[in-house]
Amino acid sequence: MPTRTYRPIHVATLASGMDLVLPLHEIIGDKPGPTLGISAGIHGEEAVGVEIVYRFMQTHDPGALRGRLLVLPVANPFSYAAISRHTLIDGGNLNRVFPGNRDGQLTEQLAFAMTEQFLRTLDYYVDLHAGGAYPTVDYVYILNAEPLSRAFGSPLLYRAKEMLTGTSVTVTRERNVPSVVVELGGGDVEQTSYVARGLQGLANILKTLGMLPGDPTPPPPQVVLQEITTLRPHHGGLLVPEVTELGIEVKGGQVLGRIVSPYSFEELEVLRCPFDRGIMVLTHRTADAVEPGIYAYMVGNLATAER
């Protein structure tokens, strides 16, 4: 008989007297199989991942599951509540401090609890991210589980030469756990299509692993990028985008967007495609107030891409 259990992980007691917990859900199928972990909300402003996990849990019958699902829909409750990339109590970025520290700052304590009671229990792992409150993104990393990364179904994949340290997949990859990091959606735009793709992508991964019945939907033609450049402005102000679509080809020097002063209307900075042949990976689809150093654009190099 399949079981579904909510078993929150206690992290700390706050000065308000409230308990800080990680909301872990466990689904155990009635047939043996692996343990797959799914997390979202490591960065709190990436809310579409939380919605994808919620809708996935509402639409899939646990009776059809082989093995066990461990689902962590909001990995950083503080940053999620604040719609922020960081933990407001200490300013930490949760996805830079794994495996954490039981005796460290609060963000490190969150990472430690997630590592010990979630990440170290998995056979497979999927971590959902998005562009954030303003930018929109669309690609999947190829780390150590290329068939699963491809099965998610995104048209763009990224075979990064190096990964940032201190991320959640740092823990799983050190244990040789096949891991997938998804970057999908975000921005101040309708998220329905991204949610639908996220639901299909998770189902495809479970079907690929034999945890759900049926065959996964074949992915679309996919481009594997070897190089992605992130463009960060040196000036704050109003970002007025000129290229708002993802997955389209752009030319060297093409204007992607402009930073203008919303006060004097002076043009402060022009952001251009850095490659002779580029493809849009992250963009702003609306005119947004921005600060220096934010994610303005991510552009992939088509000259070195795999087809």
pLDDT, position 60: 78
Q: Is 74 left (phi over 0), alpha (psi -120 to 50) or beta?
A: beta
Is the domain of 88 the same as that of 18?
A: yes
Is the domain of 235 the same as that of 183?
A: no
Asked if residue 64 lies in contact with residue 137, where contact means CB atoms within 8 angstroms, the answer is no
For 244, the token pair is: 């708002």
φ, ψ of residue 280 to 5 degrees: the values are: -75, 125
Domain boundary among 180, 203, 223: 223
Is the domain of 126 the same as that of 262?
A: no
* Beta bridge mates, 66: 31
Domain boundary among 177, 195, 223: 223
What are 149-187's pLDDT values in tens digits? Answer: 999 999 999 999 888 899 999 999 999 999 999 999 999
pLDDT, position 117: 97
Is the domain of 115 the same as that of 233?
A: no
pLDDT, position 59: 87
Is the domain of 211 the same as that of 249?
A: no
Domain boundary among 171, 202, 223: 223
Is the domain of 45 the same as that of 112?
A: yes
**Overall number of domains in the chain:** 2
The share of the chain scoring above pLDDT 70, in percent, equals 100
Is the domain of 59 the same as that of 179?
A: yes
Bond preceding residue 99 cis, omega within 30 of 0: yes
**SS3 of 237, please?**
strand
pLDDT, position 307: 83
Is the domain of 187 the same as that of 84?
A: yes
Is the domain of 125 the same as that of 263?
A: no
Helices 192-208 and 47-59, axial angle in degrees (round to 10): 60
Q: Per-residue confidence at 5, pLDDT binned at 50, 70, 90? A: very high
Is the domain of 120 the same as that of 135?
A: yes
Residue 90 has pLDDT above 90, yes or no: yes
- Tell me which of 258 and 59 has the higher pLDDT: 258
Q: Per 3-state DSSP, what percentage of the chain is helix, strand, and coil (rounded to 5)?
A: 25, 35, 45
pTM: 0.97
Residue 61 has pLDDT above 80, yes or no: no
Average pLDDT over residues 128-155: 98
Which residue is it, tokens 């991510």? Answer: 298
Average pLDDT over residues 55-75: 92
Average pLDDT over residues 233-261: 98
In total, the chain counts a number of residues equal to 307
Average pLDDT over residues 267-295: 98
pLDDT, position 238: 98
Lowest-confidence segment of 30-34, 112-116, 231-235, 247-251 by average pLDDT: 30-34
Residue 62 has pLDDT above 80, yes or no: no
pLDDT, position 71: 98
Q: Is 25 left (phi over 0), alpha (psi -120 to 50) or beta?
A: beta
Return the CATH number at 276: 2.40.50.100
Average pLDDT over residues 197-214: 97
Average pLDDT over residues 256-282: 98
Residue 142 has pLDDT above 90, yes or no: yes
For 3, the token pair is: 């079981």
Strand 135-141 to 277-284 pairing: antiparallel
pLDDT, position 163: 86
pLDDT, position 202: 98
Asked if residue 278 lies in contact with residue 253, where contact means CB atoms within 8 angstroms, the answer is no
Asked if residue 267 lies in contact with residue 242, where contact means CB atoms within 8 angstroms, the answer is no
Is the domain of 212 the same as that of 282?
A: no
Structural domain boundaries, residue 216: 3-223
The share of the chain scoring above pLDDT 90, in percent, equals 94
Is the domain of 189 the same as that of 231?
A: no
Q: Per-residue confidence at 145, pLDDT binned at 50, 70, 90? A: very high
Return the CATH number at 121: 3.40.630.10
pLDDT, position 217: 96
